[in-house]
A and B are shown apart, each in its own frame.
Chain A
Amino acid sequence: EVQLVESGGGLVQPGGSLRLSCAASGFTFSSYWMHWVRQAPGKGLVWVSGIKNGGSRTSYADSVKGRFTISRDNAKNTLYLQMNSLRADDTAVYYCAKGGIQPNWGQGTLVTVSS
């Protein structure tokens, strides 16, 4: 059974940093694109970033480009999202998602950016 467990969310001040992690199990992690998707309170789903199987290729939404960095450790089956220069509009539940024909999603971790 595919399991994706996010961690690292919390309350951070504007301009601060946070690193999210996503522990994966139940599938061959190194064979899939992995993604981060976020959902602001009461709003829809927005793709944030994706990383290819081996980590050689990454892509970002314009809203986070230059501030967020996605990475992965295939030996530890873990996906990361380093978030810097956080703003109030980054407040959201952040979901980790496995790519492929049948995507799987984690339960999400809440990031709140507020003073």
Chain B
Amino acid sequence: QSVLTQPPSASGTPGQRVTISCSGSSSNIGSNTVNWYQQLPGTAPNLLIYSADQRPSGVPDRFSGSKSGTSASLAISGLQSEDEADYYCAAWDDSLNGWVFGGGTTLTVL
């Protein structure tokens, strides 16, 4: 069981906007920043959002992140077929002294 809680699946049609939630606690999201990763099949995770709402260079502005209290969200607007992937949230945990991850959300573009 993962420390951070994500829905196991999400879906949308091309052009739609979808959001993925990530719930944690005061020892992780509540006191540290949140990162989001996209993992395409057979590849390593790729950083999508860092510091809750910042995009690395090269990440389209269709992807956005937010954080409030002990929860965070990833939003994908203008959904495209190539967005089909697994998405993971992550945060530093002060109790564990390490990273904690969500269980991952599989996004399907219908």
Q: Which A residues lie at the B interface, using CB under 8 A?
A: 35, 37, 44-47, 49-50, 59-61, 95, 101-108
**Stretch binding the partner chain, chosen from B11-19, B67-75, B76-84, B92-100:** B92-100
Residues of B within 8 A of A102 (CB): 47, 50, 56
- How many B residues touch A, CB cutoff 8 Å? 23
Count CB-based A-B contacts (< 8 Å): 52
Across the interface, do A103 and B101 meet the contact criterion of CB distance under 8 Å? no
Supplied contacts A35-B99, A102-B47, 5 more A-B pairs, CB within 8 Å:
A44-B104, A45-B88, A47-B96, A50-B97, A59-B96
User: Which B residues, 37 to 82, have Cβ-Cβ distances below 8 Å to chain A?
Assistant: 37, 43-47, 50-51, 56
- Which of A45, A47, A60, A102 is most buried by chain B, counting CB atoms within 10 A of its CB? A45
Residues of A within 8 A of B90 (CB): 45
Across the interface, do A45 and B101 meet the contact criterion of CB distance under 8 Å? yes
Residues of A within 8 A of B98 (CB): 35, 47, 49-50, 59-61
